[in-house]
């Protein structure tokens, strides 16, 4: 998977639950806050992800080695390299033996670096955030910060070194090679531009990462009889022997949550989101903003979940007629969703009126 997107925590719990038998949201939370086998941090594209803790040194080494794109902040809000380094150092020190809310961390950063770090210059939702917060994902990528245990409804941050003694980000070249292998293993065959988009990196850099693997990767021709596409892509040479020999299960139906790894990572888009699915299940061409009904590996509709206590109201909007087998498999998926989220689900097949997630 290369991580589970966790901006919406229930979506991350579903992403893991539909792949791991017997997993529930309680199990995911135990893995995060008790076992520490998962870590919540800022991953690809600066978005919140759940990652295996044993891979954190690789992830931080790789993400901190990617050339930073231009800042989207207004000129008066941007930070210099020296200011960024000072803030990351202050965060690392403040969290070395503590779990702090964002307000508490703001106080610590401003005290350590100066009032400029607290200037309210960063546009955010309905207000303005202090200047330093634009580099919070940078601090995570450099190994100074991960999410701590929630304090009620408040998010906290802490240092990974608190439960990983000796933690240190992996050296850049070794880490980027490892991440490139993991990406191709999960989502290949893929093109450098696909890898670049997934990481919010430059295509030139992504091509260099593919090239650096040398004979470990091979170029293949991607085409499909039902879709007008034809291009070259790359896969791990070792994966060529792992091509499935059995046909896809004709009853295979999945309910993928917001920003599921399959929706976001898989290409070519015309194969994953064919025909009407490109209009209904993508938001201005971006995948993940709608939960997806997946049938035999392709997007075949959208769905929505509304929770009230233990009651889970699931509405599924297929884009075509479901066979009896697919309908039965969908009902089983809804029951599985209830087990994962520890609730009582009901299924309605009809129109989803909720818009895309921002």
Each residue's pLDDT tens digit, 55-105: 999 999 999 999 988 888 888 888 999 999 999 999 999 999 999 999 999
Task: Tell me the backbone φ, ψ of residue 24, rounded to 5 degrees.
Answer: -125, 175
How far is it, in rounded angstroms, from Cα 296 to Cα 62?
33
For the chain, domain boundaries: 4-162, 172-242, 253-349
Write the burial class of residue 184 (CB in 10 Å: 0-12 exposed, 13-18 middle, 19+ buried).
buried
Question: Each residue of 257-306: pLDDT tens digit?
Answer: 999 999 999 988 888 999 999 999 999 889 999 999 999 999 999 999 99
Tell me the CA distances in angstroms from 117 to 34, 72, 93, 97, 138, one per residue in order: 34, 17, 16, 22, 15
Task: Tell me the backbone φ, ψ of residue 334, rounded to 5 degrees.
Answer: -65, -40
Q: Which long-range contacts (CB under 8 A, 24 or more apart) does 73-80 make?
A: 73/121, 73/122, 73/134, 74/121, 74/123, 76/121, 77/121, 77/122, 77/123, 77/131, 77/134, 78/134, 79/131, 79/132, 79/134, 79/135
Q: Which residue has the tokens 């290369």?
A: 2
Q: What is the pLDDT of residue 267?
A: 87
Q: Which long-range contacts (CB under 8 A, 24 or more apart) does 66-74 make?
A: 66/176, 66/199, 66/201, 66/205, 67/201, 67/202, 67/205, 68/138, 69/200, 69/201, 69/202, 71/134, 73/121, 73/122, 73/134, 74/121, 74/123
Highest CATH level, class, for 172-242:
mainly alpha
Averaged pLDDT for residues 118-143: 92
How far is it, in rounded angstroms, from Cα 200 to Cα 102?
25
Region of 309 on the Ramachandran plot (φ > 0 left; ψ -120 to 50 alpha; else beta): left
Question: Each residue of 209-263: pLDDT tens digit?
Answer: 999 999 999 999 888 776 667 788 999 999 876 665 566 676 689 999 999 999 9
């Amino acid at each position: 998977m290369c991580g589970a997107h966790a901006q919406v925590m229930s979506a991350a719990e579903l992403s893991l639950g539909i792949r791991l038998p017997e997993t529930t949201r309680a199990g995911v939370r135990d893995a995060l806050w008790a076992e520490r086998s998962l870590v919540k941090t800022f991953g690809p594209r600066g978005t919140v992800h759940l990652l295996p803790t044993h891979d954190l040194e690789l992830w931080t080494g790789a993400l901190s080695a990617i050339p930073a794109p231009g800042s989207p902040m207004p000129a008066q809000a941007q930070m210099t390299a020296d200011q960024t380094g000072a803030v990351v150092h202050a965060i690392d020190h403040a969290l070395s033996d503590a779990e702090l809310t964002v307000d508490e961390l703001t106080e610590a950063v401003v005290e350590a670096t100066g009032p400029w770090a607290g200037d309210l210059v960063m546009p955010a939702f309905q207000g303005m955030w202090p200047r330093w917060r634009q580099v919070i994902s940078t601090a995570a990528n450099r190994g100074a910060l991960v999410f701590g245990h929630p304090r009620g409804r408040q998010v906290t941050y802490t240092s990974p070194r608190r439960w990983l003694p000796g933690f240190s980000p992996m050296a850049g070249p070794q880490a980027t090679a490892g991440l490139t292998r993991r990406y191709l293993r999960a989502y290949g065959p893929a093109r450098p531009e696909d890898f670049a988009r997934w990481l919010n990196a430059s295509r030139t850099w992504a091509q260099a990462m593919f090239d650096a693997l040398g004979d470990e990767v091979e170029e293949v021709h991607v085409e499909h009889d039902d879709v007008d596409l034809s291009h070259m892509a790359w896969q791990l040479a070792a994966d060529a022997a792992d091509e499935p020999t059995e046909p896809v299960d004709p009853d295979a139906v999945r309910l993928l949550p917001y920003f599921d790894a399959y929706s976001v990572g898989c290409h070519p888009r015309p194969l994953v989101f064919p025909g009407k699915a490109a209009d209904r299940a993508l938001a201005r061409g971006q995948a993940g903003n709608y939960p997806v009904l997946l049938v035999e590996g392709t997007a075949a509709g959208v769905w929505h979940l509304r929770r009230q206590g233990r009651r889970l109201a699931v509405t599924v909007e297929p884009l075509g007629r479901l066979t009896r087998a697919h309908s039965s498999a969908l009902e089983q998926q809804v029951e599985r969703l209830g087990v994962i989220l520890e609730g009582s689900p009901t299924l309605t097949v009809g129109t989803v009126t909720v818009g895309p997630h921002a």
